[in-house]
Amino acid sequence: MKPALVLPPEPCERWKQAAQIGIEHVVVHTLELGDGSRPYEFDELLRMKTRFEDHGLEIAAFEGGVPLTDATRLATDGRDEEISRFKTLLRNLGTLDIQVVCYDWMAGLRWARTSTTVPARGDSRTSAYDDELMRRGPRPAAADTTAEELWTNLESFLAEVVPVAEEAGVKLALHPDDPPIADVRGMPRIINSPDAYERVLDCYDSEYNGITFCQGNFAAMGVDIPATIRRFGDRINFVHFRDVERTENGFVETWHDDGPTDMLAAMEAYADVGFDGPIRPDHVPTMVGEPNENPGYEMNGRLFAVGYMKGLLESAER
């Protein structure tokens, strides 16, 4: 396995901190691109890759910052051009030996939380989702879309892009809906259960059509995490290592070592199925002295999580 961190595209103190704790692999995330860009042309990807490599870091996955929006998810104007750019991204990443792309199928409303300041251990701050509170807000404009329309659009997308991914040697890794429920404010969500993933994998049977196993989302589904890891086995192409505590109307994010999931058993399951891709900590609490400007992605909690993950990994691989 390749422990990794989301890092910004320009050298900074966080690059040095990552190197100091033994991180060699990076995840490029739209969260850190800053300007909302979605790079896909060869030269900009090349410069990003070599910039990291010049500092001893290797890009293990591209996430979020891909040329994919609701134009594709909802099959509206611009879909064909967007899919063409996505194919270009895959071909260029393959040429540069960047082997994983994480994407999602959350249309209308993206990542949803109702609080990012819930008190956690030692007066740290974490995020939470409460569906009753969320539903008090306005319906999104695309809420008349049906779940089956989203499925049709996803299946059409995969039919077009998986052959390109196979040719390029770049594995697709579909992220669960977050939160993984039937709808958010009336906007349907379809990637919300293990059975939904079975449908995704069956619609195009290829190792290049795979999963981002986001543990927090699978925990929010109420599944047995180690058993579900073993269920999907080599179709897991990327891992987000995190945990949540389920509540009556949603969930609260937890410290990695303080949630309900047996994290060592999870790490052992990844080892058992032969997972050797990137695995990164996700959605950490914000610690004292940090600004909470980027909830879930402040640095100190992620440094702690990496140390915890590396200890679990050493034990699991024995």
Mean pLDDT of the chain: 96
Q: Are 284 and 302 in contact (CB under 8 A)?
A: yes
Return the structure tokens found at 179.
């939160």
pLDDT at 10 over 80: yes
pLDDT at 87 over 80: yes
How large a percentage of the chain has pLDDT more than 70? Answer: 99
Structural element, H or E, at residue 149: helix 147-168
Return the structure tokens found at 204.
């195009």
- DSSP assignment of 105-134 equals ---SS-S--SEEEEE-GGG-EEEEEEHHHH
Q: Are 24 and 1 in contact (CB under 8 A)?
A: no
Write the single-letter amino acid at 105: W
Q: What is the pTM of this model?
A: 0.97
CATH superfamily of 2-317: Divalent-metal-dependent TIM barrel enzymes (3.20.20.150)
Put residue 276 in one of left, alpha, beta given phi > 0 → left and psi -120 to 50 → alpha.
alpha
d(CA 95, CA 224): 38
The alpha carbon of residue 255 and the mean position of all alpha carbons in its chain are separated, in whole angstroms, by: 18
**Least confident window among 58-67, 89-98, 131-140:** 58-67
Q: pLDDT tens digits, residue range 28-51?
A: 998 777 666 788 999 999 999 999
Q: pLDDT tens digits, residue range 201-242?
A: 999 999 999 999 999 999 999 999 999 999 999 999 999 999
For residues 118-157, one letter each, b for 16 or more C-beta atoms within 10 angstroms of the residue's C-beta and e for the rest, the string is eebeeebbbbbbbbeebeeeeebebbebeeebbbebbeeb
Q: pLDDT tens digits, residue range 253-272?
A: 999 999 999 999 999 999 99
Neighbour-count burial of 54, counting CB atoms closer than 10 A to its CB (0-12 exposed, 13-18 middle, 19+ buried): exposed
